[in-house]
Structure 1
Amino acid sequence: MPRPRERILDTAMILFHQQGYNNTGINQIIEDAAVSKASFYQHFRSKDDLCIEFLDKRYAYWVSELQNFISDAETVEEKFLKSFDFLIHMNKKENFRGCSFLNILSEIPVEKTDLHHVIRQHKKTLRDAFNTDIKDDLISDHIYLLFESCILTSQLYRSNELIEKSKTIVKDILHDSLRKNE
C-alpha cells in the first residue's frame, strides 16, 4: 500500500480533476485516501498546498502524454496538427473534462495568488513551447490561442467539432507562414 503522502496526492489527482477545487473537501480527501487528519496536515499545510502539488503533477502527466502522442511527428506542421489530435484523444479519455488548470482558475478567488501563479507558469511554459517551434510570435500566439480555446469549447459543447475546424485553420496558417518565408 502506498505511503500516506502518496495516497493523499493520488486521491487529490482524481478528485480535483473530476470534481474541481471547491467541490473537493479535505475531509473527503482524508476519507478516500484512508489517512488521518493529522497525517494529512503532516504532509500538506493546506488544501492550497495540496492543489499546487496536484497542478504540478497534472502538468507533468499532461505534457508527458502530449510528448508521447506527437513523438513521431516529422515536421512542425505535423507536430501541431497532432497536438490538436491529442486534445481529441484526451476528450475521449477524460470525457470532455477540459483543462484542470482553467477549471480550477475559474473556481478560485484572485486572493489565492500562489495558485494563480502556478497556473500562469504552467500555461506560460506551454505558450513558450509553441513559440520555440514557431519563431513568429504572432503566428505562435494565434495557434496557442486556438489550442487553448479548443480545450474550453470542446468541454463546453462536449464535441470535438471545433478542434477539427481549428486543425484546418492551423494548417492554413502554417502554410501561409512557410510561403512568406520562402
Structure 2
Amino acid sequence: MNESGTVRDRILLTSMKLFYVQGIKSTGINQIIDESRVAKASFYNHFHSKRDLIKECVIEYDKIIKNQMVSVVMESVSFQDFVRKWVIVIKGDLQIVYRGCPIAESCFQLDSDDSDLMKLMQEIIYGWENLVAQFLNKMVKNDLLPVTMDIAKVSKRMVHLYEGAATMRRITNDDSYIDDLEYLMARMLE
C-alpha cells in the first residue's frame, strides 16, 4: 500500500493515520474523504460504512505488527535475542507519534457489543500469541529452552506484557514501561 496508490489505498492510509493520531470517534468520514483527496462516491464504492473502514484499518494494523513480529522471530537465535529485538522494534516505534498499540487503541474505542469486531480483535491477539509460540517451539526443538515449558502460557504472557507496557507507556508517556519489558519477559524463564 502506498500513498499515491489506488483510491482504496489512499483512503486506508489516511484513515489509519487519522484513527491512530486523532482516534476513531474523533475522525469523521468527511475529513477522511478530504485528506484522502477522493470523491465521496469513490469512498462509498470501497467502504459502505465507517465500521467497514475501521475493520479494514484494524486488519492493516495487524499486518504491519505481524510483519514486524515475523521479522523478529526469523532473526532471533535465542529467547533473550528475541526479547531484545522485540523491544528494539517497540522503541523504534516510539520515535514516531506513539499512542500505544494501534490494535488496543482501536479496541478501546469500539462498541464492545459489536461481536464481529470484537471477534476480529481476539483473532488478532491469538495470531500474535501463535507467532510467539512458534518461536518458543523452535527454541525448545533446538534445546535452547526446556521441553517442560508451557509454551501457550508463556506466549500469552509475553503478549500480555507487551500490551500492558504499550498501554502504560501511552497513559503515562513514561518510556520506562518499555524499558522494563525486556527485564520482565526474561523473568518468565526463571
Cα offset, 1:17, TM superposition: 1.6
Match of 1:179 in 2: none
Could you tell me which runs of 5 or more consecutive residues in structure 2 were left unpaired when the two chains were aligned.
137-148
- Tell me, yes or no, if the aligned pair for 2:33 and 2:43 is still in contact at 8 Å: yes
- Tell me, yes or no, if the aligned pair for 1:81 and 1:170 is still in contact at 8 Å: no
| Alignment partner of 1:147 is 2:162 | yes
Q: Structure 1 vs Structure 2: percent identity of aligned residues?
A: 24
Q: In the comparison of the two structures, how many residue pairs are matched?
A: 174
Secondary structure of 2:75's counterpart equals coil
Match of 2:14 among 11, 15, 18: 11
Q: CA RMSD in A?
A: 1.9
Cα offset, 1:69, TM superposition: 5.0
Deviations 1:132-160 (A, max 9, x none): 33351333332221111111111112122
Following TM superposition, the consecutive aligned residue runs of length 4 or more in structure 1 with deviations greater than 4 angstroms are none
- Tell me, yes or no, if the aligned pair for 1:81 and 1:171 is still in contact at 8 Å: no
Say which structure is richer in helix.
1
Match of 1:79 in 2: 82
| Alignment partner of 1:30 is 2:30 | no
Question: TM-score normalized by structure 2?
Answer: 0.82
Match of 1:166 in 2: 181
Q: Distance in 2 between matches of 1:171 and 1:6?
A: 39
Alignment of 1:9-158 (within 5 A): 9-68=12-71, 71-92=74-95, 94-134=96-136, 136=150, 137-158=152-173
Secondary structure of 2:18's counterpart equals helix
Q: Flag the 1:143–1:89 CA change in 2: closer, same or farther, 3 A.
A: same
Match of 1:180 in 2: none
Q: Distance in 2 between matches of 1:52 and 1:17?
A: 13
Q: Distance in 1 between matches of 2:26 and 2:39?
A: 20
Q: Distance in 2 between matches of 1:62 and 1:142?
A: 18
Deviations 1:145-178 (A, max 9, x none): 111111111111212212222311222322x2xx
- Tell me, yes or no, if the aligned pair for 2:11 and 2:32 is still in contact at 8 Å: yes
Deviations 1:57-100 (A, max 9, x none): 111112223433564321133112321232222122x3331111
